[in-house]
Structure 1
């Protein structure tokens, strides 16, 4: 009975996300015309700042106009945090293969207070503000590479009710590494994760997903030795074109409200 209710709620969500009425934003109030441009370059003589976070820290705490932070080619080893009050920030690089921000925090790594960082604080780039835009720049993690001596999980998505319009959607990615890995485990009762058009190496266990909770996990047109669907757990599925559409559309992230 519970599974039938779950599946019915999921189908209703698919219909809702496929419409133009699901966004919580009644009207977009984005700003696309830049009032300021800041140059980040690894050579201090060629830019305003040598780090992305340095450029962000130079902005007023409450930012009310579009600021373009132009980041030159290079690998920037730093942790970037954009606070909630700094809206309208654009990070523009010179190409996803040329401009890269990377860091290596994990949830169990200890912070300055000696306590584990946790999932939220372990992000390489944490964007807490509205109307953020990134172009031609890579945040390390688009190519998912893992090393493990035991079973781990690539994702842990938290969703606590059918009403939450949340989930993880990985589109046109590559999953590689060594060891054995699940595509995901639930973090909360109604976790939801989808992989579409993604290459999966043999690191992915045949079951695909760890067993915990009542959740919705699926794939769509993935390939590679780890993408074989024959051994997947019974409650994951190969999605249909209609079912995957909400997850691969810009509507999933309200993109038509804030992307130029």
Structure 2
């Protein structure tokens, strides 16, 4: 972990969102809950009376010199489906960025539905996908783990993603990521990822992620999700990353029993884990807050409203009782009918103020050296 004494560089982006006359979009499931999420954001940002802008403040040199240099040398390219921009598709725009990119490239995407499988390789760091706050563009696909790839073999969950980001320093603002493949209970191979993020130091602002099984593959790295809407049916937030979800809306569409998270921390020395702060958990069916994909799975919910779909037990060891003493599943200052701690599994943690501190701030993801700050 980078120490604060060596963290003299702070890159500050101020992304304030304007013109928020947002209307409901055509989500496959539970559009009513999405409307509620939109309404809260409309009220929030109309109160700010802000306009969309990007401001960069470069402080004294610090350890992340690559980031400082990238932000001081930005480029903007536009994607317009009607041909009035630099490119008609997102993939064409990304292909124009040279390998081993070292500058911030902002891909400004006009409203519309983009039926593309978007891949951002490791060599193309510092990419920002930016949409319109009032009418965000949708990037959609319907690949599943069982779908055939180029060589005729199944894609697998990893390759099913509509958008896959292997590059670091990625940012998304006002983008809707979607995998429209349905999930039928009992069928195998229906994992359909809307977004896979495998690069580190990535941030998502006012984005939505819509899918069924395995919607958001939070694969690895340090990640920040702020004011995002995440919807799915089974394990719809999963992976091995260390991520902070702040002011996010988690909407279940399951019809029976499922889990919101499947965090894969495979040994006790890994610093990975998911922290949810000031979030809302609602939707259909009955859900566990998390189930242990890894033996040392780590998930914490703080200051979060939980509706009555959350099962009294709260957490699942995925049928392996050996994990009960290894996982770290914590709750702190949560509210709502689903936050009743009386029926929780005995190995769930009711965190004290001191125990909660490492999880409820941006220090959890080393944000002082790279994080985009929206305050």
TM-score, length-scaled by structure 1: 0.77
Indicate how the Cα distance of structure 1 residues 237 and 178 shifts in structure 2: closer, same or farther if over 3 A, else same. Answer: same
- Tell me the CA shift for residue 53 of structure 1: 3.6
| Structure 2 counterpart of 1:99, from 136, 149, 155 | 136
| Structure 2 counterpart of 1:193, from 280, 296, 299 | 299
| Structure 1 counterpart of 2:128, from 69, 84, 90 | 90
Indicate how the Cα distance of structure 1 residues 176 and 84 shifts in structure 2: closer, same or farther if over 3 A, else same. Answer: same
- Tell me the CA shift for residue 103 of structure 1: 4.4
* 2:259 is aligned with 1:158: no
Q: Deviations over 1:151-173 (max 9, x none)?
A: 21111111122211111122233
* 2:364 is aligned with 1:226: no
1:99 is paired with a residue whose SS is: coil
* 2:96 is aligned with 1:27: no
2:359 is paired with a residue whose SS is: helix
| Structure 2 counterpart of 1:251, from 331, 338, 363 | 363
CA contact (8 A) 1:100 1:139 kept: no
| Structure 2 counterpart of 1:169, from 271, 275, 288 | 275
Moved >6 Å (runs of 4+): none
- In the TM superposition, what are the counterparts of 1:1-260 in structure 2 within 5 Å? 20=4, 27-28=63-64, 29-30=66-67, 31-41=70-80, 43-74=81-112, 76=114, 78-95=116-133, 98-99=135-136, 101=138, 103=140, 108-112=145-149, 113-115=152-154, 117-118=156-157, 120-137=158-175, 138-140=207-209, 141=230, 143-211=249-317, 212=320, 213=323, 214-259=326-371
2:256 is paired with a residue whose SS is: strand
Indicate how the Cα distance of structure 1 residues 52 and 201 shifts in structure 2: closer, same or farther if over 3 A, else same. Answer: farther
Indicate how the Cα distance of structure 1 residues 100 and 233 shifts in structure 2: closer, same or farther if over 3 A, else same. Answer: farther
Q: Deviations over 1:211-247 (max 9, x none)?
A: 2412001122222222222211111123233322322
- Tell me the CA shift for residue 179 of structure 1: 1.3
Q: Aligned equivalents of 2:116 and 2:340: distance in 1?
A: 37
CA contact (8 A) 2:137 2:174 kept: no
Q: Deviations over 1:95-144 (max 9, x none)?
A: 3x6425454768755343452522x4444543221222233441312533
Residue correspondences, number: 239
Structure with more relative contact order (C-alpha pairs < 8 Å, separation 6 or more): 1
CA contact (8 A) 1:34 1:68 kept: no
Indicate how the Cα distance of structure 1 residues 177 and 190 shifts in structure 2: closer, same or farther if over 3 A, else same. Answer: same
TM-score, length-scaled by structure 2: 0.56
- Tell me the CA shift for residue 65 of structure 1: 1.5
2:254 is paired with a residue whose SS is: strand
Q: Aligned equivalents of 1:195 and 1:121: distance in 2?
A: 29
Gaps of 5+ in 2: 8-61, 176-206, 210-229, 231-247
Structure 1 vs Structure 2 CA RMSD: 3.0
The aligned counterpart of 1:11 is: none
Indicate how the Cα distance of structure 1 residues 106 and 77 shifts in structure 2: closer, same or farther if over 3 A, else same. Answer: closer
Gaps of 5+ in 1: 1-15
Indicate how the Cα distance of structure 1 residues 194 and 83 shifts in structure 2: closer, same or farther if over 3 A, else same. Answer: same
